[in-house]
Amino acid sequence: MKIGIFYGSSTGNTETAAELISENFSEHDCSVQDVSSIEPDDLLGYDFLILGISTWYVGEAQDDWIDLLEDMDGMDFNGVKFAIFGQGDQLGYPDTFQDGMGMVYEKMIAGGGEALGFTSTEGYDYDESKGEIDGQWCGLSLDEDNQGEMTDERIENWCKALHAEL
């Protein structure tokens, strides 16, 4: 299976998570790319996309995702399975925690993609998030700033669930 892991990361937290996630898919043809150095069409041609985004400036997508999200309008992701992971800070930004995840989700669903890897919101303390869809995270929610000790286990469990879903 051809898997594309794409991330945007300002201080390296989402990048580190992307590398950890890729280790869990090493049996596949898996590439990890920074969205700051891709064209929108580079997202195409994969069986499974894993998309990583952090949230910045109180509810904004990470810088390198901003233009890409606009360019994704009208793109065709029919038949493409995708999963999203995010980095955020639930204590610092409880009203916009992981909003970036929701922004990516919206574009992929609009393009006809099929979302995998929803997870429970239990164990997080926040008020509002665009990344919460029907009471669940629309992917994997990571918080390096407050719950960094949980990251490895969260990634491992998520990747196991993705393998089962695929």
Ligand X SMILES: Cc1cc2nc3c(=O)[nH]c(=O)nc-3n(C[C@H](O)[C@H](O)[C@H](O)COP(=O)(O)O)c2cc1C
Binding footprint of ligand X on the chain (CB under 6 A):
9-14, 54-59, 62, 87-89, 93, 96-98, 144-145
Nearest distance, CB of residue 114 and ligand X, angstroms: 25
Nearest distance, CB of residue 56 and ligand X, angstroms: 5
Question: Would you say 81 or 86 has its CB closer to ligand X?
Answer: 86
Question: Would you say 80 or 83 has its CB closer to ligand X?
Answer: 83
Residue nearest to ligand X (CB): 88
**Cβ atoms within 10 Å of 54's Cβ, excluding its own:** 29
Nearest distance, CB of residue 93 and ligand X, angstroms: 3
Name the DSSP letter for residue 118: -
Q: Phi/psi of residue 145, each to 5°? A: -70, -35
Cα angle, residue 68 at apex, residues 163 and 76 outer, rounded to 5°: 60
Which residues fall within 8 angstroms of residue 79, CB to CB, at 6 or more apart?
112, 114
Question: Would you say 12 or 45 has its CB closer to ligand X?
Answer: 12
